[in-house]
Structure 1
Amino acid sequence: MPLRTKPTSLTFLLLCPPQETLLVCSVLAFLALEVAVDTLFRADAGCLSSVSDAPCDRFRELLRLADVLAFTADALALETPTAARSWRRPSNTQQPQTAGAETSALHSNIKSKGQNSYYYAHKKRENVEIHEWDGNAAPRLLKTQSAADPGAPEVTETIVNYAWADGKKRVSVYLALPGIGGHAEEDTQIDWTATSLTVRVKHYEAKTRLLVVPKLYDEIADVKIKRKADQLVLLLTKAKEFSWHSLKKDS
């Protein structure tokens, strides 16, 4: 029996158009397999009834083609569900995926595992200053900080601990200030009257030290200062040679 179906016509069924999905390809492969099986039965009958080898050669070609079609159909049947989804054209009505949906998996992982989350450990943090070492061991400026405003008033601290001693002509006042001997002399200011005394030591340990005696025990005629390594000694000259029982006079 002459064969009207050629192997090339069956092979054409496997050439799936690129614009179609793999689901259509699998259907075409199964149809081609049915045609191949039907052709095999007819070719088998022709081979058995013919005395020549031509029908048998055609039968063997169709048998090989049927095996290829069967394998292709099985492979497409397995790949179709996933492949069809990947080849499906996007719908015009499909809403674009929002940024929140894209990061939902990351946020869910961080929420469930906290700081142990892989995403938490590798997540980039915003507003974080990053310093990377370039391999150069030379020192470099990483950060600048504005200095204190020179016009701002300096903190003043009152001197409450001091000692004094009465003499025949002078009264001595002792102020303990460690390191005052190396302090600038112009930063030590003394204001006095016959009955009052004020001492200011500026820029001492970033402060102004202040001693105020608004009313002395008796009148004075002069004030001199004597500087030592860790002490200031104020020498008050008495206006009258009277004994002082206190540095301050009770009001």
Structure 2
Amino acid sequence: MSKSNITNYAFVDEDARVKVYVELPGVGNCPDENISLDFTERSVCLTVKNYAPPPSAKARVDDASDELVADTTAAAPDAAEVVEEEAQRRGGGEDRCLSFGRLYAEIENATYRKKADRVIITLTKKDDTAWSAVIA
């Protein structure tokens, strides 16, 4: 099981399932083959390879102020999108991992859905025990 470098997540206990919401801005642009989910009855590990988060709006403003000359031409592609797609294409991002080595209770299955800025992990419980946390 890999060491987690994703530490910010939220979860919801939904009777037979637990959903874990992982915020990763721009993850929707990651190729599907760069995202994997491994699990056992008591552990889960989400890995996103070559993840390149988009530059924040603040970083773009700071960079523009440092340049002294602003580009005011219209209809250019969004710079953050271009940088992010290029980094992911070249593999220039970093690997990110969310790992739970000991889940609160046993699971039967784990799946994920990739959205524009988050990954939603769905854990199917082995029994209907209420989870007060994701980890034991």
The TM-score with structure 1 as length reference comes to: 0.36
Cross-structure match for 2:72: none
* 1:203 equivalenced with 2:64 (yes/no): no
Larger radius of gyration: 1
Cross-structure match for 2:78: none
For 2:29 and 2:18, the matched residues in 1 are separated by 25
Q: Which runs of 4+ in 1 moved over 6 A?
A: none
* 1:186 equivalenced with 2:73 (yes/no): no
Does the 8 Å contact 1:197/1:213 carry over to 2?
yes
For 1:243 and 1:195, the matched residues in 2 are separated by 15
* Structure 1 residue 157: Cα displacement: 7.1
Unaligned runs of 5+ in 2: 53-92
Does the 8 Å contact 1:158/1:210 carry over to 2?
yes
Cross-structure match for 2:118: 231
The code of the aligned residue for 2:30 comes to H
For 1:198 and 1:227, the matched residues in 2 are separated by 15
Cross-structure match for 1:218: 105
For 1:183 and 1:212, the matched residues in 2 are separated by 19
| C-alpha distance after superposition, 1:207-231 (max 9, x if no partner) | 0001110000000000111111101
Which of 1 and 2 has higher RCO (CA within 8 Å, sep 6+)?
2
For 2:104 and 2:126, the matched residues in 1 are separated by 11
Within 5 A, what are the aligned runs for 1:134-173? 158-173=5-20
- Aligned pair in 2 of structure 1 residues 196, 246: CA closer, same or farther (>3 Å)? same
Does the 8 Å contact 2:4/2:99 carry over to 1?
no
Does the 8 Å contact 1:157/1:208 carry over to 2?
no
The TM-score with structure 2 as length reference comes to: 0.67
For 2:132 and 2:8, the matched residues in 1 are separated by 18
The structure carrying a bigger helix percent of its residues is 1
- Aligned pair in 2 of structure 1 residues 163, 192: CA closer, same or farther (>3 Å)? same
Cross-structure match for 1:177: 24
- Aligned pair in 2 of structure 1 residues 157, 224: CA closer, same or farther (>3 Å)? closer
The structure carrying a bigger strand percent of its residues is 2
| C-alpha distance after superposition, 1:40-70 (max 9, x if no partner) | xxxxxxxxxxxxxxxxxxxxxxxxxxxxxxx
* Structure 1 residue 204: Cα displacement: 0.4
Unaligned runs of 5+ in 1: 1-155
Aligned residue pairs total 94
